[in-house]
Amino acid sequence: MPRSTLPLLRALLLVAAPLVTALPGARGDEPPGADLPGRPEEIVFAPLDFEVPDAKQFRRTLPDGTPVYVAPTHEFPLVTVSITFKGGASLDPADVPGLAGATASLVREGGTASASPAEFDEALDFLATRIGVQSNDAFTTASMNCLTANLDESLKLFVEMLREPALDEGRLRTSKARLMESLKQRNDDAASIMSREWRRLLWGPDHFESREPTGASVAAMSTERMRELHRRIYHPGNMIVAVSGDFEEKPMLEKLAAAFAGWKKGPAVPDPEAPTAELAPGIYHVPKDIPQGKVAIGMRSIRRDDPDAIPLDILNDILGGSGFTSRIMQQVRSNEGLAYSAGSAVVPKVWYPGQFRASFESKNATVALATKIILDLVEGVRDEPVSYEELETAKAAAIETFPRQFESKPAMLRVFVSDEWTDRPADYWKTYRDKVSAVTREDLQRVAKKHLDPEKMAILVVGDWDAIAAGDLEGRAKMTQFFGGKVTHLPVRDPVTLEPLPEGAGAPKPADKPAAPAGQGAPKKPVPAGK
Amino acid sequence: MGGCYNARHRSDTLPPRGFAMFRPSRRAAAPLLAALLVLGLAGTLPGQQVAVEEFTLPNGMQFLLVPRTDQPNVVSAGWVAKVGSVNERPGITGISHFFEHMMFKGTDTIGTRDPERDATLRVEQRRVREQITNLVWTEQYDRFLRGEIDDPWDPANDSDRLRQLRTRLDGLIRTQQGRGDAGAEGATIVKDEFDQVYTKAGGSGMNAFTSYDLTFYFITVPSNKLELWAWMESDRLHDSVFREFYSERDVVHEERRLRTDSTPTGRFQEQFDSMFWASCGYSWPVIGWPSDLNSYTEEQAQDYWNVYYRPGNLVGIVVGDFDPARAKADITRYFSRLDAGTRRPPPVVTLEVEQLAEQRMNAEGDFPPAVEIRYHTVPAGHVDSYPLDMLAEILNERTGRLYTGMVEGRGIAAGAQATSDTRKYAGLFAIEAQARGEATPAQLEEAWYEELAKLQAEEVPERELRKVKNRVAAGNYRRLESNMSLMVQLAVAEATLDWSEINEGPRKYEAVTAADIRRVANAYFAPTNRSVATYLRRAAAPAGGPELPAAPAGGQ
């Protein structure tokens, strides 16, 4: 609204809402700041030119062919060296899920050829150098951050650890004991049950994305198995290096070449295998006694390089990917107050189709209502084009936040390394904003119809089914209205073996209840365990 | 445990422990306390001084500007209100956090297409809600106290009169949101416009969090949009409207269920906090007790606004790639519209009483065997806070005494951590350890007492202290690398002590001696000053076992 009407509105409000106008600053004849733009849209912004950095300008090659991305910056006396190897859980042997992750831990913790684990840790800590080694699904990353003054000594320790880890037996025992303790906790939090069972539904139980260590596989983790995996992953034929921070390029490249000298290359690591299982649509439920149901709704989706990837991402921002500026958050949380977090994501995968997933958590009675609202919203983007305003906001947001991923030097290098490992087309980022600008409402409706279909989705509910199925007090929704009311009740799994427990087991046993203090009512809606 | 405003897929928020937020962050809570601990600076290293330009507007609002160009094109900007749950009292616990949620609901300009009719609807809502609240406080509380109903706030226990009022209130809310009989055309609200304006302009990570001592509102914007930040933030500070005051509490109830009621240890941790703090304002959770959450009135919120959200109690912070002269001009132009107000925040007067005897809590549930041992210590900035923080460092990390002594040496722990948590008005020191194999919480507790006895009897060797000081000094650089991290630290330091602690703290940590550490190990760790929580896994049972303990009354 034009600013000039505001003083008048304030005068009206004085009558209509004395409480509101009691705000300090809202009284007096001349409202302070009357000379300011009346609406944010009236502000004129200086242009902000952002040129997409070109990966080639940061890429160097060591004499042995190892790619190194360099981005010096001298604001702080710190250097970060990060090495990304291809292969992670994707290389886990079928009988030892979790081996790549456990190997990464032991490479870090298990000492080196010349230093015992304790000596190695002590040396690093005294230098104030940080080293981490982690495996995810498809990659293993080792990174070292040190003070510039300690670069030489830190780099020596870092590379020796990667080349010749001692994989100490004592540290292996500690590491396995720790892992066993974490297995026992797998059913404690509903969020971890949700994450595990969703992956099993989505990828099938035998794909590496859903396989998890068990007591037996932890027992099978040996230094021999780890050495074998170490030889496959940690070698110069399988790594890309990124260096950022306080250094000069030429000496850094010389130091790296010297540190890697004589390190033998192994064979290339294959791409991760695609899952073979299909997601079976329907409602699934895993029991957990909590006062809130946790829900995931989704289906398999696209590959990263799918031509629909950008429009689908924009569509998802409008549907549920952009917080309060998206429909799911506005309806489920802001209007209805049914959830604290509610939203959706499209997660494309490089080597096989990824997933679309909406998720929320809500008190038991309103799980069905929130589910219905989300499915209606999915139908909505299929049935009707989004509004012009929604499209413009989503496109502007994607374009304006685009520079953010190149914001810091380490972040920029992460993009370059990932792109090289996954063969992202060289002009992808250069043309990204143009591709976003070109997206139309028709594009969004087309990709919605093609890639989002409630009938092909699974709904996974973790929580107290009897309380959830009944629906809300006003009868606005019930779980029986989805998929003809057919529900697959998934078993509670033994947290250590992951084998299904007999029905009714796994629920907590009676605890000695303290006598209820005066005024404490009976437990609300007592629920017999073991459903 | 505490709270925050927001969830979005591109979040770069780092909420500290003991917080509540406007929206959920996809990233796990980062250990801000640890970051605060690493304020040390080794004498062998050059000191990193953060160059802060500080100025104060005539209305009393203070600003801290940190221009830097290493990360081009972006600016992180925020403002801290020096108010948190410690400023509350029984009856309004959690209102600081609830207020934080209200701050995203807009003004007479943002968030409505018809401020006049919107105000009318709000006044009607308020009248109906006052009747509901008064009926619950009288009739429903009476019925609850006599044992006739299990929860005075549960709509399932409503009388006919209450049901009618609730339907009426719901209708008013629906009309305002454009979901009533008049349909979308009748809406006075422009839904979440505050978020949309920033989103369209390339803002990211917009959020806020509330902790015991402060509330912080922040965002990252493109460098050319700093004026937009000044517009938006000065608008909501000038003209905030408590829109959706009654429906938003459902969201906070869900936040409470998510963070506290549905997590394995949430309610036990809450109970332990309440047991540990006897008299001071840290004894209730940041997110508030459920009964209070239902009871806030607009008068109370208005009162909070008039006292704590006036410029003299606020500090703006801008970190990143911007022209300081231009920023100062824009900030002055926009934030000068804030009225200084006439009331000043009252002092927090209730001090923690001395603990006279050991306290224990034995919990059973779906969690691993573990122990937490806590001691009352000192507030932030206290002369002993520096050696206490260094003591925690001696214990932590892979070469620290807890790992080498309990995880490796005795082989009884899967993990163990020490925390020195010094707040504005009081502090605590905590040891937490999780059992390994067949080890018991009692063994973990005993092992800590043995480690403690060594620290009390002998000074930490020089090399060990030097090692920790080196780590702390390097951490002093690391924590400054990200704009957001630096901004949050300035906010916390300013709200707790003074922002200059960022630059002065390191010298104080470097000056800590082995004798200081031994002295505090003897001064604060007496058995009578400790509270111990033991956690045991409840055994799995055959079918037919009962449910978890009932949620406390006052939920929904």
Contact yes or no for B6 and A324 at CB 8 A? yes
Helix, coil or strand: residue A223 = helix
Q: List the strands of the sheet with A130-135, edge to edge.
A: A59-61, A67-72, A239-245, A78-86, A139-147, A130-135
- Rounded to the nearest angstrom, the minimum Cα separation between A460 and chain B is 17
**Which neighbouring-strand residues pair with B75?**
B221, B320
Q: Least CB-CB distance to A9: which of B116, B397, B551?
A: B116
Q: What is the pLDDT of residue B249?
A: 86
Q: Which residues of B touch A341 (CB under 8 A)?
A: 7, 23-24, 258
Helix, coil or strand: residue B495 = helix
Mean pLDDT per block of 10 residues along chain B (556 residues) reads 39 42 46 29 53 97 94 94 97 94 94 95 95 96 97 94 96 92 88 93 94 97 96 94 88 88 91 97 95 92 93 97 97 96 93 97 95 98 97 97 96 97 97 96 98 98 96 89 93 96 92 98 98 92 44 49
Phi-psi region of B77 (alpha: psi -120 to 50; beta: other; left: phi over 0): beta
Sign of CA dihedral A288, A292, A298, A303: negative
Contact yes or no for A408 and B481 at CB 8 A? yes
- Put simply, whether B141 touches A (Cβ < 8 Å) is no
- Residue A241 CA to residue B141 CA, distance in Å, equals 66
At position B73, the amino acid (one-letter code) is: N
Contact yes or no for B202 and A401 at CB 8 A? yes
Residue A17 has pLDDT above 70, yes or no: no
Provide the token pair at A227. Answer: 């050495």
- Residue B416 CA to residue B369 CA, distance in Å, equals 12
Instruction: Report the relative pairing of strands B413-422 and B427-435 from DSSP bridges.
Output: antiparallel
The CATH classification number of A55-260 equals 3.30.830.10
Contact yes or no for B73 and A530 at CB 8 A? no
- Put simply, whether A401 touches B (Cβ < 8 Å) is yes
- Residue B309 CA to residue B59 CA, distance in Å, equals 12
Q: Which residues contact B500 (CB under 8 A, 6 or more apart)?
A: B493
- Residue B514 CA to residue B459 CA, distance in Å, equals 5
Q: Tell me A349's DSSP state.
A: B
At position A426, the amino acid (one-letter code) is: A
- Put simply, whether A473 touches B (Cβ < 8 Å) is yes
- Residue B524 CA to residue B384 CA, distance in Å, equals 10
Q: Which residues of B touch A392 (CB under 8 A)?
A: 200
What are the Cα distances from residue B534, in Å, to A230, A484, B349, B445, B501? 40, 47, 32, 9, 36
Query: How many residues comprise chain A?
Result: 531
More confident residue, A82 or B25: A82
- Rounded to the nearest angstrom, the minimum Cα separation between B496 and chain A is 26
Q: Would you say B546 and A526 are in contact if contact means Cβ atoms under 8 Å apart?
A: yes
Q: DSSP secondary structure string, A364-397?
A: GGGHHHHHHHHHHHHHHHHHSPPPHHHHHHHHHH
Tracing tokens 């409602």 back to the chain, one arrives at: A283
Q: What is the pLDDT of residue A505?
A: 58
Provide the token pair at A346. Answer: 């499209």
The Cβ of residue B401 has, within 10 Å, a number of other Cβ atoms equal to 22
What are the Cα distances from residue A308, in Å, to A304, A356, A420, A434, A443? 9, 13, 22, 15, 9
Q: Which residues of B touch A315 (CB under 8 A)?
A: none
Q: What is the pLDDT of residue A75?
A: 87
Interface of A with B in 342-361 (CB under 8 A): 342-343, 345, 361
What mean pLDDT is reported for chain A?
A: 89
Tracing tokens 């540990």 back to the chain, one arrives at: B276
Q: What is the pLDDT of residue A360?
A: 97
Provide the token pair at B241. Answer: 């409207």
Q: Which residue of B112, B398, B484 to mutate against A (max A Cβ within 10 Å)?
A: B398
Q: Would you say A298 and A281 are in contact if contact means Cβ atoms under 8 Å apart?
A: no
Contact yes or no for A523 and B150 at CB 8 A? yes
Contact yes or no for A521 and B222 at CB 8 A? no
The Cβ of residue B534 has, within 10 Å, a number of other Cβ atoms equal to 19
What are the Cα distances from residue B222, in Å, to A49, A262, B198, B323, B441? 11, 46, 10, 13, 51
The predicted-structure confidence for A147-175, as pLDDT tens digits, reads as follows 999 999 999 999 999 999 999 999 999 99
Q: Which residue of A6, A14, A20, A344 to mutate against B (max B Cβ within 10 Å)?
A: A20
- Put simply, whether A51 touches B (Cβ < 8 Å) is no
Q: Which residues contact A250 (CB under 8 A, 6 or more apart)?
A: none
Q: What is the pLDDT of residue B541?
A: 53
Q: Least CB-CB distance to B254: which of A147, A363, A401?
A: A363
Q: Would you say A259 and A435 are in contact if contact means Cβ atoms under 8 Å apart?
A: no
Task: Kindly identify which residue of chain A lies nearest to residue B234, measuring between CA atoms.
Answer: A33
Q: Which of A41, A174, A33 is nearest to A117 (CA)?
A: A174
Q: Which of A68, A69, A100, A103 is nearest to A87 (CA)?
A: A100
More confident residue, B73 or A144: A144
- Rounded to the nearest angstrom, the minimum Cα separation between A299 and chain B is 18
Task: Kindly identify which residue of chain B lies nearest to residue A503, measuring between CA atoms.
Answer: B543
Interface of B with A in 210-229 (CB under 8 A): 220, 222-225, 227-228
Interface of A with B in 380-399 (CB under 8 A): 392-393, 396-397, 399
Cα A511–chain centre separation: 37
Q: What is the pLDDT of residue A29?
A: 52
Residue A15 has pLDDT above 50, yes or no: no
Provide the token pair at B512. Answer: 């800590």
Show me where the domains of chain A are located: 3-42, 55-260, 282-489
Task: Kindly identify which residue of chain B lies nearest to residue A331, measuring between CA atoms.
Answer: B191
Q: Which of B194, B197, B203 is nearest to B11 (CA)?
A: B203
- Put simply, whether A330 touches B (Cβ < 8 Å) is yes
Q: What is the pLDDT of residue A30?
A: 59
Interface of B with A in 381-440 (CB under 8 A): 397-399, 404, 407-408, 411, 414-415, 434-437
Provide the token pair at B393. Answer: 């460092």
Sign of CA dihedral B448, B452, B458, B459: positive
Backbone angles phi, psi at A385, to 5 degrees: -65, 150
The predicted-structure confidence for A357-405, as pLDDT tens digits, reads as follows 999 999 999 999 999 999 999 999 999 999 999 999 999 999 999 999 9
ipTM: 0.86
- Rounded to the nearest angstrom, the minimum Cα separation between A358 and chain B is 12
- Residue A58 CA to residue A242 CA, distance in Å, equals 10
Q: Which helix (H) or strand (E) holds B421?
A: strand B413-422
- Put simply, whether B149 touches A (Cβ < 8 Å) is yes
Alpha helix segments (H runs only) across B309-343: 324-335
Q: Which residues contact B28 (CB under 8 A, 6 or more apart)?
A: none
- Put simply, whether B479 touches A (Cβ < 8 Å) is no
Q: What is the pLDDT of residue B485?
A: 92
Residue B532: burial class (beta carbons within 10 Å; 0-12, 13-18, 19+): buried
- Put simply, whether A216 touches B (Cβ < 8 Å) is no
Q: What is the pLDDT of residue A436?
A: 97
Q: Which residue of B330, B393, B477, B536 to mutate against A (max A Cβ within 10 Å)?
A: B477
Q: Which residue of B307, B548, B556 to mutate against A (max A Cβ within 10 Å)?
A: B548
Helix, coil or strand: residue B210 = strand
Contact yes or no for B199 and A323 at CB 8 A? yes
Helix, coil or strand: residue B101 = helix
Residue A495 has pLDDT above 80, yes or no: yes
- Put simply, whether B122 touches A (Cβ < 8 Å) is yes
Task: Kindly identify which residue of chain A lies nearest to residue B125, measuring between CA atoms.
Answer: A17
Q: Which residues of A touch B306 (CB under 8 A)?
A: 23-24
Q: What is the pLDDT of residue A163?
A: 97
Backbone angles phi, psi at B77, to 5 degrees: -140, 145
At position B24, the amino acid (one-letter code) is: P
- Rounded to the nearest angstrom, the minimum Cα separation between A527 and chain B is 6
- Rounded to the nearest angstrom, the minimum Cα separation between B426 and chain A is 31
- Residue A72 CA to residue A83 CA, distance in Å, equals 16
Average pLDDT of A281-295? 95
Number of Cβ pairs < 8 A linking chain A and chain B? 363
Residue A527 has pLDDT above 90, yes or no: no
Q: Check if A55-260 and A282-489 are the same fold.
A: yes
- Residue B21 CA to residue B5 CA, distance in Å, equals 4
- Put simply, whether A277 touches B (Cβ < 8 Å) is no
Contact yes or no for B70 and A75 at CB 8 A? yes
Helix, coil or strand: residue A307 = coil
Give the up-direction half-sphere exposure of residue B378: CA atoms within 13 A in the CB hemisphere: 14
Q: What is the pLDDT of residue A7?
A: 33
Q: Would you say A465 and A287 are in contact if contact means Cβ atoms under 8 Å apart?
A: yes
Contact yes or no for A47 and B366 at CB 8 A? no
Q: Which residue of A39, A317, A324, A462 to mutate against B (max B Cβ within 10 Å)?
A: A324
Q: Which residues of B touch A43 (CB under 8 A)?
A: 227-228, 231
Task: Kindly identify which residue of chain B lies nearest to residue A27, measuring between CA atoms.
Answer: B339
First to last CA, chain B: 19
Residue B70: burial class (beta carbons within 10 Å; 0-12, 13-18, 19+): middle
Q: Which residues of A touch B470 (CB under 8 A)?
A: 125-128
- Residue B495 CA to residue B423 CA, distance in Å, equals 10
Provide the token pair at B406. Answer: 């309990």
- Put simply, whether B264 touches A (Cβ < 8 Å) is yes
Fold adopted by A282-489: Cytochrome Bc1 Complex; Chain A, domain 1 (3.30.830)
Average pLDDT of A12-25? 32
